[in-house]
Structure 1
Amino acid sequence: MSDDLDIRGGGAVAVDTATLRVAAAGFTGLAAELDDIAGFVGSAAHRLLDASPAAFGAWLTIDAVRRRIVSATEAANETAEALRGSAAVYEIVELRAERAAAAAAGDAAALARIDAQLAVITREDPAADDRATLGVFGHWLSWPNGLALQAPGAVWWLAPGLHSLAIPLAWAVQRAIGAVGAGTVPSSARLSGAPNAVVVTPVAGHGPTAAPASLADAAARIPGGGDARIRVERYTMPDGTRQFAVYVAGTQTVAPNSTEPFDMESNIALYTGERSASYDATLAALTRAGAEPGDVVHAFGHSQGAMITAHLALEGGYDTQTLVSLGSPVEADVGEGTMSISLRHADDPVAALAAGGHAGAVGAPGSFVAERTADPVPGVHDYGLPAHGIDAYTETARLLDASTDARMGAVRELFDGLGAAESVEVTEYSAERAGILQPAPAPAPAPAPAPSPSPSPSREPLTLNPASSDGG
Structure 2
Amino acid sequence: MSGELDIRGGGAVEVDTATLRDTAARFVLAADELTRICARVGSLQNMLFAQQQFAGVALSTLALLATRLTDAVVRGERIAADLEAAAAIYELVELNARLAVAFWAGDDDALALIERQRAVLIAQYPEAMERARLAEFERAVLWPGDLVRQATEAGYDLGGLFDTARGSDLLAAAVGGVAVGGTAIGFAALTGVGGWGRLRSDATLNGAAQPIRVSASQRPPLPAPSNLTGAAERIPRTGASQVRVEKYTMADGSRQFAVYVSGTRTMAVSAKEPWDSRSNVELYSGSRSASYDATESALRAAGAQPGDVVHAFGHSQGAMITSHLALESEYDTRTLVNFGSPVEADVGSSTLSVGIRHTDDPVAALAGGGFMESVGAPGSFIVEREAHPLAGTDDLGLPSHQMTSYVETATMLDASADPRVHQLGDVFEELSHAVTVEVTEFAATRADSEGATASLGDEE
RMSD: 2.8
Deviations 1:242-283 (A, max 9, x none): 433222111112343433222222111100101112112222
- The one-letter code sitting in structure 2 at the alignment partner of 1:268 is V
Q: What TM-score comes out, normalization by structure 1 length?
A: 0.84
Q: Shift of residue 237 of structure 1?
A: 4.7
Do residues 427 (structure 1) and 455 (structure 2) align? no
1:286 counterpart residue number: 299
Q: Cα distance 1:124–1:428, how it changes in 2: closer, same or farther (>3 A)?
A: farther
Is 382-391 or 313-322 further displaced after alignment?
Answer: 313-322
Q: Distance in 1 between matches of 2:227 and 2:38?
A: 48
1:130 counterpart residue number: 130
Q: Distance in 1 between matches of 2:76 and 2:436?
A: 51
Q: Shift of residue 334 of structure 1?
A: 1.8
Is 299-308 or 360-369 further displaced after alignment?
Answer: 360-369
Say which of 373, 376, 379 aligns to 2:392. Answer: 379
Q: Distance in 1 between matches of 2:427 and 2:63?
A: 52
Q: Cα distance 1:143–1:468, how it changes in 2: closer, same or farther (>3 A)?
A: closer
TM alignment of 1:143-292, pairs within 5 A? 143-160=143-160, 161=172, 162-205=176-219, 209-237=222-250, 241-292=254-305
Q: Cα distance 1:427–1:75, how it changes in 2: closer, same or farther (>3 A)?
A: farther
Q: Shift of residue 66 of structure 1?
A: 4.6
Does the aligned pair in 2 maintain the 1:183–1:329 contact within 8 Å? yes
Deviations 1:110-150 (A, max 9, x none): 11111111112222222211110110111123123221211
Give 1 or 2 for the bigger CA radius of gyration: 1
2:310 counterpart residue number: 297
Does the aligned pair in 2 maintain the 1:261–1:278 contact within 8 Å? yes
Q: Distance in 1 between matches of 2:354 and 2:217?
A: 29
Say which of 427, 437, 448 aligns to 1:436. Answer: 448
Is 84-93 or 50-59 further displaced after alignment?
Answer: 50-59
**The residue matched to 1:122 in structure 2 has which SS?**
helix
Does the aligned pair in 2 maintain the 1:195–1:275 contact within 8 Å? yes
Gaps of 5+ in 2: 161-171
1:328 counterpart residue number: 341
**The residue matched to 1:353 in structure 2 has which SS?**
helix
Q: Distance in 2 between matches of 1:468 and 1:22?
A: 56
Deviations 1:284-306 (A, max 9, x none): 22223333323332221110111
**The residue matched to 2:54 in structure 1 has which SS?**
helix
1:440 counterpart residue number: none
1:5 counterpart residue number: 5
Deviations 1:285-338 (A, max 9, x none): 222333332333222111011111111111112222322111011111222222
1:441 counterpart residue number: none
Q: Distance in 2 between matches of 1:390 and 1:144?
A: 20
Q: Distance in 1 between matches of 2:188 and 2:400?
A: 17
Q: Distance in 2 between matches of 1:309 and 1:360?
A: 20
Does the aligned pair in 1 maintain the 2:342–2:367 contact within 8 Å? yes
Q: Distance in 2 between matches of 1:235 and 1:35?
A: 62
1:448 counterpart residue number: none
Q: Distance in 1 between matches of 2:317 and 2:404?
A: 16
Q: Distance in 1 between matches of 2:245 and 2:104?
A: 38
Q: Distance in 2 between matches of 1:469 and 1:200?
A: 6
Q: How many residues of Structure 1 are paired with residues of Structure 2 in the alignment? A: 443
Does the aligned pair in 2 maintain the 1:259–1:436 contact within 8 Å? no
Q: Distance in 2 between matches of 1:27 and 1:346?
A: 36
Does the aligned pair in 1 maintain the 2:214–2:455 contact within 8 Å? no
Deviations 1:69-122 (A, max 9, x none): 444444343333333322221221121122122222322211111111111222
**The residue matched to 1:110 in structure 2 has which SS?**
helix
Gaps of 5+ in 1: 438-464
Does the aligned pair in 2 maintain the 1:203–1:227 contact within 8 Å? no
Q: Distance in 2 between matches of 1:298 and 1:65?
A: 60
Q: Shift of residue 52 of structure 1?
A: 7.5
Does the aligned pair in 1 maintain the 2:141–2:185 contact within 8 Å? no
TM alignment of 1:353-372, pairs within 5 A? 353-372=366-385
2:331 counterpart residue number: 318
Q: Cα distance 1:155–1:239, how it changes in 2: closer, same or farther (>3 A)?
A: same
Q: Cα distance 1:261–1:68, how it changes in 2: closer, same or farther (>3 A)?
A: same
2:406 counterpart residue number: 393
Identity, % of aligned positions: 48
Q: Distance in 2 between matches of 1:469 and 1:407?
A: 38
Q: Cα distance 1:38–1:225, how it changes in 2: closer, same or farther (>3 A)?
A: farther
Q: Distance in 2 between matches of 1:238 and 1:470?
A: 32
Q: Shift of residue 393 of structure 1?
A: 0.9
Q: Cα distance 1:39–1:427, how it changes in 2: closer, same or farther (>3 A)?
A: farther
Q: Cα distance 1:134–1:255, how it changes in 2: closer, same or farther (>3 A)?
A: closer
Does the aligned pair in 2 maintain the 1:215–1:397 contact within 8 Å? yes
Do residues 25 (structure 1) and 37 (structure 2) align? no
- The one-letter code sitting in structure 1 at the alignment partner of 2:61 is T
Q: Cα distance 1:349–1:435, how it changes in 2: closer, same or farther (>3 A)?
A: same
Is 281-290 or 91-100 further displaced after alignment?
Answer: 281-290
Q: Cα distance 1:25–1:286, how it changes in 2: closer, same or farther (>3 A)?
A: farther
